[in-house]
Amino acid sequence: MNIATDARTCSGLQGQSPNQLGRLGVIMSDLTKNFINGRWVESPSGATFESRNPATGEVLGVCTRSNAEDVEAAVAAAVNAFDRWRKTPAPRRAEILFRAAEIMLRRKEDLAQLVTNEMGKVIAEGRGDVQEAIDMTYYMAGEGRRQFGLVAPVELPNKFGMCLRDPIGVVGAITPWNFPIAIPCWKLMPALVLGNTVVFKPAEDTPLCAAALIAILEEAGLPPGVVNMVLGYGEEVGAPLVEHPQVPCISFTGSNEVGRQIAIKCAHLGKRLHLEMGGKNAIIVMDDADLDLAMDGIVWSAFGTSGQRCTAASRIITHNAVKNELSERLVDRAAQLRLGYGLLPNVDMGPVVNEQALEKIHGYVMIGVQEGAKKLVGGERATDGDLARGYFFKPTVFEATPDMRISQEEIFGPVTNIIPVRSLEEAIAVNNHTRYGLSTAIYTRDVNRAFTAIRDVSTGILYINAGTIGAEVHFPFGGTRGTGNGHREAGVQALDTFSEWKSVYVDYSGRLQRAQIDVE
Ligand code: UN1
């Protein structure tokens, strides 16, 4: 393994972060505060938590640690702002989003560096994260002049029928750290353009990224109270937000365990809930596949973002005829990946997000070994040179069977399993036999096999001859089975997540007309 241990790794970083934050066009100290009713404020709790660079351990900011009191203030501001915002014409709301996208575009590089510093992904991927946010913001701004309803003929004379979208009210948006700019935009932008107001609880690992995004919305001219952000932990901020009686809609991206707890609470409270809870995504490689192409897709999908994408490929379901060659090549490629601080040149893979992630991933490697999976490469923390300062884990490949825990449970790290199969039918059965159904890929040159996969794979996203990552913002994003609860984000489908349909009948007959009764 080549390790990027350039001397600049740490010394360069010490001076870099504050400057870089300064260039984001906001007062840096504000990025550690809550944003409530248009003001940057600290929690009355007086408590704090640190945001650290997972590649170096450097503290990037000391943030206010909020609780139910702050959630209360944020919800009150959002409730108060709702009536005016929903009555603001949607094209006017959208203009603010367009301006926000323009600002993001101008600050793309600085935001991308902040992403790399705060969550660890390499800079090319940091730029991708910000670009996805820009794409979503422009796309949803466009919805300011669409949000199409429906007009249809009605059954009775002198009567008119249509349906249109209403905002829901205050949306609670709870987001993960792995796409700290993009995923908040997936939730905030559709919610806002539809006329909802928002209370946003970002992951505690990436508060500065979240705050940098909110500062952009502020600068773009979003009125006070329309977006509010509360920094802190799930139990202290997320839970009171989910339970708040004046927050009728929750959108959550995170683990299946937490998502199911939220679902139970929302069911009791009768709330609208959108869930995105991860994956155990597979790349199917058939015996007729272009192996060079498949190999590039596998390495990118399994080890990009250090495997910390909901869409990461953690199972490589491989036809027996190509299994040996594929295994050898994948082991080679994994071993060649260069780990390091993501702002350095020539680094392929950054750290994982924090110590707990490192422990969880290592725990799963031990489980795999105990289960009898064959470890082909990796399987341990990388500690050479400066890597010891961060949370680096070596790219890991197992050969495993479909029922092992490492083939069933989401590890969220750079670990992938080769699972041999004998046929397309078996490959699809193995793919479908997990609790998740977010993203699947198949490499084949046979159009019949490709269409069989399109018909039979149970998944929210399917790629033919490309890896499992790379969803675009104008297509629905989400999955089947334990990945979600039927809702989608991104695409026009996101509009359904954040709005209510209202059917309107206008009777201009001037007399009582009884639907279904006056049929003669
Ligand atoms: C996620 O991991 O939760 O398709 C989002 C992709 C990215 C988004 C991933 N565009 O991998």
Mean pLDDT for 10-14 is 33
Distance of CA 448 from the midpoint of ligand 1 (Å): 28
pLDDT at 18 over 70: no
Catalytic residue among 218, 276, 410, 489: 276
Q: Assess whether 310 carries a catalytic annotation.
A: yes
For ligand 1, the distance from its centroid to the CA atom of residue 321, given in whole angstroms, is 31
Q: Is the CB of 185 under 6 A from ligand 1?
A: no
Provide the token pair at 477.
């994003």
Give the burial class of 1: count Cβ atoms within 10 A of its Cβ; 0-12 exposed, 13-18 middle, 19 or more buried. middle
Give residue 470 CA to ligand 1 midpoint distance, Å: 6
Summarised one tens digit per residue, pLDDT across range 277-335 is 999 999 999 999 999 999 999 999 999 999 999 999 999 999 999 999 999 999 999 99
Q: Please work out whether the CB of residue 427 comes within 6 Å of at least one atom of ligand 1.
A: no
The residue with tokens 């944003």 is: 35
188-229: pLDDT as tens digits = 999 999 999 999 999 999 999 999 999 999 999 999 999 999
For residue 109, what pLDDT band results from cuts at 50, 70 and 90? very high
Catalytic residue, candidates 204, 310, 410, 489:
310
470 close to ligand 1 (CB < 6 Angstrom):
yes
**Residue among 139, 277, 281, 477 whose CB has most ligand 1 atoms within 8 A, to mutate:** 477
**Inter-residue contact 311 to 176 (CB < 8 Å):** no
Q: 182-193 and 90-106 are packed helices; what angle lies between their axes, rounded to 10 degrees?
A: 160
Site of tokens 């015996």: 287
| Contact in structure between 161 and 154 (CB atoms under 8 Å) | yes
Q: Which of 408, 327, 308 is nearest to 368 (CA)?
A: 408
At 467, the amino acid letter reads: G
Note the pLDDT tens digit of each residue in 236-267.
999 999 999 999 999 999 999 999 999 999 99
Cβ contacts of residue 492 below 8 Å, gap of 6+? 143, 474, 476
CA 21, 25, 27, 32 torsion-angle sign: negative
Is 484 within 8 Å of 275 (Cβ atoms)? yes
Fold annotation for 281-464: Aldehyde Dehydrogenase; Chain A, domain 2 (3.40.309)
pLDDT at 3: 39
10 labelled catalytic? no
Q: Is the CB of 118 under 6 A from ligand 1?
A: no
Looking at domain 18-277+486-500, what is its CATH homologous superfamily?
Aldehyde Dehydrogenase; Chain A, domain 1 (3.40.605.10)
pLDDT (tens digit per residue) in 147-162: 999 999 999 999 999 9
128 CA closest ligand 1 atom index: 10
pLDDT for res 4: 41
Please write the tens of the pLDDT for every residue from 26-71: 556 667 999 999 999 999 999 999 999 999 999 999 999 999 999 9
Would you kindly state where each structural domain of the chain is located, as residue ranges? 18-277+486-500, 281-464
Instruction: Output the CA 305–ligand 1 centroid distance in Å.
Output: 10
**What's the 182 CA to ligand 1 centre distance in angstroms?**
9
Q: What's the one-letter identity of residue 390?
A: G
Query: What are 450-468's pLDDT values in tens digits?
Result: 999 999 999 999 999 999 9
